[in-house]
Amino acid sequence: MFAAIITDCKDDNALGRSIVRLSQYVQCPITTIGVNGWDADLEAAGNLIDLLDASEGKLGVVIVNVAPRHKNAKKWSNGTPFCYFHYKETLIVSSVDGQVLSLIKKLGVVDHVNMMDIPTVLKSLEQKRVITQELVDHISNTQFRSFEFLPRVTGWLLDGLEIPAEKYMLNNVVDAPNAVWWIDNFGNIKTTLLETDFDFKVGKKISTKVGELVCYNRLKDVPDEEKALIIGSSGLHERRFLEVVVQGVSAEKELGIKSGQDIL
C-alpha cells in the first residue's frame, strides 16, 4: 500500500502535522507534494494524474488539499467541499473547487465524484457512535480541515465505513486551461496539452503565447538551444502531457514562463 498528500499547506509545520495525523490511519510510508501559492489548484491537478499513473491503480490513497477561502471560495461556508472517488484500487480524497479535478475530467478518469458535506458526515458518524460529540464540534469549527478532517475521513473510508455523500458530476468542474501546471528542476515546462489537442507532428512549428515551438517526440531529439514542444513523461496510460523545453538550458528562465501561464 502507498499514501500520498498533495497540498498547498506545505510548510514544515503543516506537512509534519498532516503526515503524523495520516499515519494514525495508514500503515505505510507517506509521500508529500507541496503546490504553490494562491493558485495552486492546477499544479495539484497535474500531480494527481502523475500519482495515479505512478501507482498503476494499486492499493493506496491520495489526499489532495487545495482549499483557499478567498475570492470565489467565499461562496462556501468554510472553504471548498471535499469528495472521494476511486481509480481502480486507489482511493482519492480531494477538495472539489477550482481546477483541482480538471485533468481528471479531461482524461476521463471518472465521470463523477462523491461530494461530502462535513457536518452531515460527522453527524452520521456520531449517531453510529464512531466519534464523540466533542470531536464533531472540534472538526466542525476548525480552520485546518486538511489536518482535522481529511486524514480521519480517509481512515474511515479505508475501514469500509459508510460515509454520506452526493454524486457530483464532473461536467460541473471547469475545463482545464491550455496552460503550465508544473516546472521541473531543470526548468522544463509541463503543460496540460495533449497531442490530440492539435495536429502534433514531428518538425511542425506551433505558434504559442511563448513563441514559435518545433514539435519533437523526445527531449534527446531537440537540437541544442532550440525551443521545442515534446511529448513528456507525465500523464496517464498512453495520454502524455506535452512539455515546453529549450535544449541545454532552462525553458523557465529562457522564456520567462511561470506555473499557471497560458500556452495557447
pLDDT of 38 reads: 59
- 237 and 199 in a single domain? The answer is yes
- 9 and 46 in a single domain? The answer is yes
Residues 156 and 138: their CA atoms lie apart, in Å, by 17
Model pLDDT for residues 218-239, shown as the tens digit of each residue? 999 999 999 999 999 999 999 9
Residues 154 and 63: their CA atoms lie apart, in Å, by 8
Taking residues 240-261, what's their average pLDDT? 96
- 66 and 11 in a single domain? The answer is yes
Considering only residues 182 and 198, tell me which one the structure prediction assigns the higher pLDDT: 182
Q: Is 43 helix (H, G, I), strand (E, B) or coil?
A: helix
- 159 and 234 in a single domain? The answer is no
- The sign of the torsion formed by the CA atoms of 106, 83, 171, 56 equals positive
Share of the chain above pLDDT 70, in %: 94
Share of the chain above pLDDT 90, in %: 90
Res. 70 pLDDT band, cuts 50 70 90: very low
CATH number of the domain encompassing residue 58: 3.40.50.10790
- 59 and 162 in a single domain? The answer is yes
- 10 and 82 in a single domain? The answer is yes
User: Structural domain tally of the chain?
Assistant: 2
Model pLDDT for residues 141-164, shown as the tens digit of each residue? 888 999 999 999 999 999 999 999
pLDDT of 73 reads: 52
pLDDT of 75 reads: 57
- 99 and 161 in a single domain? The answer is yes
Q: Which of 164, 172, 175 is nearest to 112 (CA)?
A: 172
In a domain, 263, yes or no: no
Model pLDDT for residues 82-115, shown as the tens digit of each residue? 999 999 999 999 999 889 999 999 999 999 999 9
CATH number of the domain encompassing residue 223: 2.40.30.90
- 50 and 134 in a single domain? The answer is yes
Query: ∠ CA(82), CA(58), CA(235), 5° rounding?
Result: 75
Residues 198 and 254: their CA atoms lie apart, in Å, by 25
> H or E element: which one contains 80?
none
Query: ∠ CA(70), CA(97), CA(143), 5° rounding?
Result: 50
Taking residues 168-179, what's their average pLDDT? 96
> H or E element: which one contains 44?
helix 41-55
Q: pTM of the full predicted structure?
A: 0.95
pLDDT for 37 beyond 70 = no
Query: ∠ CA(33), CA(85), CA(9), 5° rounding?
Result: 25
Taking residues 168-191, what's their average pLDDT? 96
> H or E element: which one contains 121?
helix 118-127
Residues 147 and 126: their CA atoms lie apart, in Å, by 19
- 243 and 158 in a single domain? The answer is no
In a domain, 264, yes or no: no
pLDDT of 77 reads: 60
In a domain, 262, yes or no: no
pLDDT of 181 reads: 96
Structural domain ending residue among the three candidates 156, 172, 188: 172
The domain containing residue 221 runs over which residues?
180-255
Structural domain ending residue among the three candidates 115, 145, 172: 172
